[in-house]
């Protein structure tokens, strides 16, 4: 789930930048995505806290020199672990409620990005074809000029 959290963060930043360059990225989508990230972030924070506190409790000197502190550290580690599970369940609940809609919206944004270059490429090809047709048409006209003012027959044409 930590990898998912990091990937989600990168995707959210990408969506924010996409909105800045004019793509249709609704603020509601970003808020929902941030809610996913917050739940995963809290889950991760409590997992790390649990691990670190348990690691401190595992130090040999703590249990021998301060049994009460040892017991409190273990209780804190256990409480942090329990809270991490609550946060993970919160993420799962949010995902079940909104994940499909969020995924569909992101897919639509990606499709619009992919369609834009294809449409531009199609338009460029059409413009090149129209230009070529004009050039061919101009060359077939009697007295048509090519670049430099020369007629199709090679002589100079008067400027108009």
| pLDDT 10s digits, 25-74 | 889 999 998 999 899 999 999 999 999 999 988 888 888 899 999 999 99
Q: Which long-range contacts (CB under 8 A, 24 or more apart) does 24-29 make?
A: 24/109, 24/112, 25/109, 26/105, 29/102, 29/105, 29/106
Which has more confidence, 7 or 133?
7
pLDDT at 150 over 50: no
| pLDDT 10s digits, 92-135 | 999 999 999 888 888 888 888 777 655 555 556 666 677 767 77
Q: Output the pLDDT for position 2.
A: 72
Bridge-based pairing of strands 150-151 and 145-146 is antiparallel
- Delimit the domains of the chain by residue range: 2-99
pLDDT at 147 over 80: no
pLDDT at 144 over 80: no
């Amino acid at each position: 789930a930590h990898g998912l959290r990091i990937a989600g963060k990168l995707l959210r930043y990408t969506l924010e930048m996409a909105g800045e360059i004019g793509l249709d990225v609704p603020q509601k989508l970003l808020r929902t995505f941030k809610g996913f990230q917050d739940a995963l972030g809290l889950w991760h924070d409590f997992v790390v806290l649990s691990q670190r506190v348990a690691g401190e409790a595992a130090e040999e000197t703590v249990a021998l020199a301060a049994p009460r502190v040892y017991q409190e550290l273990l209780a804190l580690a256990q409480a942090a672990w329990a809270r991490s599970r609550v946060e993970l369940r919160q993420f799962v609940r949010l995902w079940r409620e909104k994940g499909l809609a969020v995924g569909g919206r992101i897919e639509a944004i990606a499709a619009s990005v992919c369609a834009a270059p294809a449409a531009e490429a199609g338009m460029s090809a059409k413009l090149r074809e129209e230009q070529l047709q004009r050039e061919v048409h101009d060359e077939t006209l009697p007295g048509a000029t090519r670049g430099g003012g020369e007629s199709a027959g090679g002589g100079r044409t008067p400027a108009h």
